Chains A and B, each alone.
Chain A
Amino acid sequence: MESLFFYLFGGLAVVTTLLTLSSKNPVYSAIWMILSFSATAGLFVLLDAFLIATVEVLVYAGAIMVLFLFVIMMINLRTSEAERLRLSPLAILAALTFLVLFGRAVSDPGPMLGKAPNDLVGDPDVIANLMFTEYVVPFEALSLLLTAAVVGCVVLSRKKVKA
């Protein structure tokens, strides 16, 4: 049963991601991407990582993709007239190298394979505790990262100041 769902969500994620890349229409690309995120969220649910699954939907499918769609609609992109993807031999070589290395990596991922780090991985309490104890430094640094992003965006997007 579980492996059935795994292949269902996994296959969905792969197919929708490919469709995201191949769609000519940017709105459809965005929608396939939303589905791809949702399928990934499904995979997280199968791992009992409910929090991450929910955050995946909330942040990626719910918030980021809305902004994508918003931008696409604002600048009214219709079917893209962009030139077809040109594949340079170097790009193909790089991709193939990556694929081969990836294949080797997956075939021999190391001794930790299949060991769940923690039974309670999906529990918000556990993650909250880690966040405010062990990882409190990066957590606080993140707040400054967001501040930097907000300050910068406001400056870059506001209209020219008349001197």
Chain B
Amino acid sequence: MPSFAEIMSVYGLEFGLGALAMLLIVVDLITGRGRLTGPADVVRLLALGGVSGLLIYSFMFLHASGEVHAFGQLDAFALYFKRFFLATTLFTLLLTAPYEARFSGGRAEFPVLVLLTAMGMCMLSSVGDFVSLFVGLELVTISLFLLTAWRPGLPRSIEAGIKFVIIGAVAAAFLVYGIAFVYGATGALDFAGVSAAIQSMATMPAGLKFGLLLVLVGLGFKLGAVPFHIWIPDVYQGAPTPVTAFLSVGSKAAGVVLLMRLVYTVLGPAAAEWAGVLGGLAAITLLMGNLGAITQTDLKRFLGYSGIAHAGFLLLALAAHSEASASSILFYMVTYLFANMAAFLVIIVVSRTSDDSHMDRVNGLAERSPFLAFVLLVSMLSLAGVPPFAGFVAKFMILRAAMEAALHNPALYWIVGLSLVMVVVSLYYYLCVLKRVYFREPEDKGVLEISGSTKAILLLCVIATIGLAIFFNPLVESANAGAQSLMGALPQGH
């Protein structure tokens, strides 16, 4: 039986997030009677302070340990992702501030659900068995369902919520069904046990393959891989913009962290058999995501398709299956975080009054606010992977890792080639957006006012995006450590 101290050594951050969420509910209850604006501010400040505190704590006091418990572990990989999720959460809460006035109610509850989602995400980076995996994933998914429909007055928000619920439920069903088959074939639910059982088998029985395939499908929904991407455009468009940002980075990362854990730890050496499946998924995801993005006229849908395209890159790295590719995924996620958050914050600002995210809203943005235009420029070019920005380094790392892996697995050459073509395609559509920003006439010539705090966040994203392109070493080292711990964590049983 695990002791409380053992559990806290792994899930301390999650405990902090959960406790913070409960504290917010209580604070809202005490201060919230009769007033509408006051408590939301108190609650928001508390949430921001708490998450920043936890983030700082995770950097200063938390250390990765090689200990593998039955209920999870805090290796360098998990720690890397926990910090990533905390940063994502912090950004989401920061993005909420300029958006919040559009909520008809539930301002104080919004950060509570964001925190609980974050808790689920952090938990997912540490989980060591399928039960925790499922519970953590549901914690993330169900909170996100609710956050997506957070503006009940808006039909689009409700529609997005309903679509998300239905497709999310189907995904969960796939996942559970898959877990049942995996359990049936291996007799274990913990990753170490499943992995040991797989390694003891000469060939995988069909039931096990089927189960793993279904688990892959379930996680593919989270990740936004084609053909499980159908929910993304509508949900991204309909959800409140901060939630879309959260979804695009956090939910994707949740899928990534689990897929990596499963592919590298559970499958272990058997993963080579799965490179074909992952590579095929990567190819169609790259194709559909990039081609789909071209015709979009709504910024949030557009970023949804671009997110699918990025999922394709992540899958390519997974298919490559090496330490270098694992490390490149870790690096990629961080660059994606900064570029994406900046883009969504710009959307929040430009859609301030009209609250729709049609691309016309950014027409002539350069005239209305040169700063915002510059931020969008940096963000789009980083997402496209153009040299002076972090996105370039990330894509380069993935492609290099894939090329190395292709020496053993020639099929990867084709996918790398395809991805290069798709990078060019993506450059086209990202530039289309920038063309609107710099060369179209604005519909409304008024100067856009940006608050100081928004400016500061945007500046941070820009600096990070440029800075990571130049001083990428510290992050790469920490990503390498994460990848190493993931590769090294082959089970010894317990």
Specify the chain A residue showing the minimal Cβ separation from B108: A155
Taking the complex as formed, is B181 at the interface, i.e. its CB lies under 8 A from any CB of chain A?
A: yes
Which residues in chain A, 114-147, are within 8 Å of chain B measured between CB atoms? 115, 117, 133-138, 141-142, 144-145, 147
Residues 82-114 of A, flagged 1 when their CB comes within 8 A of B and 0 if not, give: 000000000000000000011011111111110
Using CB atoms and an 8 Å cutoff, list the residues of chain A in contact with chain B. 101-102, 104-113, 115, 117, 133-138, 141-142, 144-145, 147-149, 151-156, 158, 160-161, 163
Interface size on B, residues (CB 8 A): 55
Q: Is the CB of A117 within 8 A of B132?
A: no
Residues in B with CB closer than 8 Å to A111 are 185, 201, 205
With beta carbons under 8 angstroms apart, the residue of A107, A113, A142, A147 that contacts B184 is A113
Taking the complex as formed, is B25 at the interface, i.e. its CB lies under 8 A from any CB of chain A?
A: yes
Q: Is the CB of B36 within 8 A of A163?
A: yes
Known: A101-B213, A149-B142, A151-B25. A160 touches B104 (CB 8 A): yes
Residues in B with CB closer than 8 Å to A148 are 112-113, 116-117, 139, 142-143, 146
Interface SS of chain B: helix
A107–B113 Cα distance when bound, in Å, is: 44
Question: Which of B43-51, B148-156, B292-300, B438-446 contacts the other chain?
Answer: B148-156
Q: Is the CB of A137 within 8 A of B187?
A: no
Q: Is the CB of B146 within 8 A of A104?
A: no
Taking the complex as formed, is B482 at the interface, i.e. its CB lies under 8 A from any CB of chain A?
A: no
A153–B105 Cα distance when bound, in Å, is: 12
Q: Is the CB of A155 within 8 A of B116?
A: no
Residues in A with CB closer than 8 Å to B25 are 151
Query: What distance in Å separates the Cβ of A108 from its nearest Cβ neighbour in chain B?
Result: 4
Q: Is the CB of B2 within 8 A of A133?
A: yes
Q: Is the CB of B131 within 8 A of A144?
A: no
* Complex A-B: 14 CB contacts under 8 Å: A105-B209, A108-B207, A109-B207, A111-B201, A112-B185, A137-B123, A137-B132, A145-B138, A147-B116, A148-B113, A151-B109, A151-B146, A156-B149, A161-B104
Specify the chain A residue showing the minimal Cβ separation from B10: A137
A142–B119 Cα distance when bound, in Å, is: 12
Q: Is the CB of B139 within 8 A of A137?
A: no
Q: Is the CB of A102 within 8 A of B2?
A: no
Residues 111-146 of B, flagged 1 when their CB comes within 8 A of A and 0 if not, give: 011001101100100000101101110110011011
Closest 3 CB pairs of A and B: A110-B185, A152-B146, A105-B210
Specify the chain B residue showing the minimal Cβ separation from A142: B135
Taking the complex as formed, is B71 at the interface, i.e. its CB lies under 8 A from any CB of chain A?
A: yes
Residues in A with CB closer than 8 Å to B60 are none
In this complex, which of A105, A106, A135 has the most chain B Cβ atoms within 10 angstroms of its Cβ? A105
A147–B116 Cα distance when bound, in Å, is: 9
Query: What distance in Å separates the Cβ of B199 from its nearest Cβ neighbour in chain A?
Result: 13
Which residues in chain B, 183-202, are within 8 Å of chain A measured between CB atoms? 184-187, 201
Interface SS of chain A: helix
A161–B35 Cα distance when bound, in Å, is: 11
In this complex, which of A115, A142, A144 has the most chain B Cβ atoms within 10 angstroms of its Cβ? A144
A-B contact count (CB 8 A): 127
Taking the complex as formed, is B7 at the interface, i.e. its CB lies under 8 A from any CB of chain A?
A: yes
Residues in B with CB closer than 8 Å to A142 are 135
With beta carbons under 8 angstroms apart, the residue of B11, B131, B146 that contacts A149 is B146
Q: Is the CB of B11 within 8 A of A137?
A: yes
Which residues in chain B, 14-52, are within 8 Å of chain A measured between CB atoms? 14, 18, 21-22, 25, 36
A133–B25 Cα distance when bound, in Å, is: 28
Q: Is the CB of B105 within 8 A of A160?
A: yes
A163–B100 Cα distance when bound, in Å, is: 13
Residues in A with CB closer than 8 Å to B407 are none
Q: With contacts A147-B22, A156-B146 known, what are 20 further pairs, Cβ within 8 A?
A: A104-B210, A105-B206, A105-B209, A107-B206, A108-B207, A110-B207, A115-B187, A134-B71, A137-B72, A138-B131, A138-B135, A141-B135, A141-B139, A142-B135, A144-B119, A145-B139, A148-B146, A152-B109, A155-B146, A156-B149
Residues in B with CB closer than 8 Å to A152 are 109, 113, 142-143, 145-147
Query: What distance in Å separates the Cβ of A112 from its nearest Cβ neighbour in chain B?
Result: 4
A104–B2 Cα distance when bound, in Å, is: 39
Specify the chain A residue showing the minimal Cβ separation from B128: A137
Q: Is the CB of A141 within 8 A of B181?
A: no
Query: What distance in Å separates the Cβ of A98 from its nearest Cβ neighbour in chain B?
Result: 9
Residues 69-87 of B, flagged 1 when their CB comes within 8 A of A and 0 if not, give: 0111000000000000000
Residues in B with CB closer than 8 Å to A160 are 104-105, 153
Q: Is the CB of B112 within 8 A of A105?
A: no
Known: A138-B132, A152-B113, A160-B153. A108 touches B206 (CB 8 A): yes
With beta carbons under 8 angstroms apart, the residue of B1, B105, B109, B185 that contacts A109 is B185
Known: A141-B120, A152-B113. A158 touches B105 (CB 8 A): yes
Residues in B with CB closer than 8 Å to A117 are 187
Taking the complex as formed, is B279 at the interface, i.e. its CB lies under 8 A from any CB of chain A?
A: no
Query: What distance in Å separates the Cβ of A32 from its nearest Cβ neighbour in chain B?
Result: 19
Q: Is the CB of B105 within 8 A of A151?
A: no
Q: Is the CB of B136 within 8 A of A141?
A: yes
Specify the chain B residue showing the minimal Cβ separation from A102: B210
Q: Is the CB of A144 within 8 A of B18?
A: yes
Known: A102-B210, A105-B211, A115-B187. A133 touches B139 (CB 8 A): no
Q: Is the CB of A135 within 8 A of B185?
A: no
Q: Is the CB of A145 within 8 A of B207?
A: no
A148–B113 Cα distance when bound, in Å, is: 6
Specify the chain B residue showing the minimal Cβ separation from A139: B135
Residues 170-186 of B, flagged 1 when their CB comes within 8 A of A and 0 if not, give: 00000000000100111
A117–B188 Cα distance when bound, in Å, is: 9
Specify the chain B residue showing the minimal Cβ separation from A143: B18
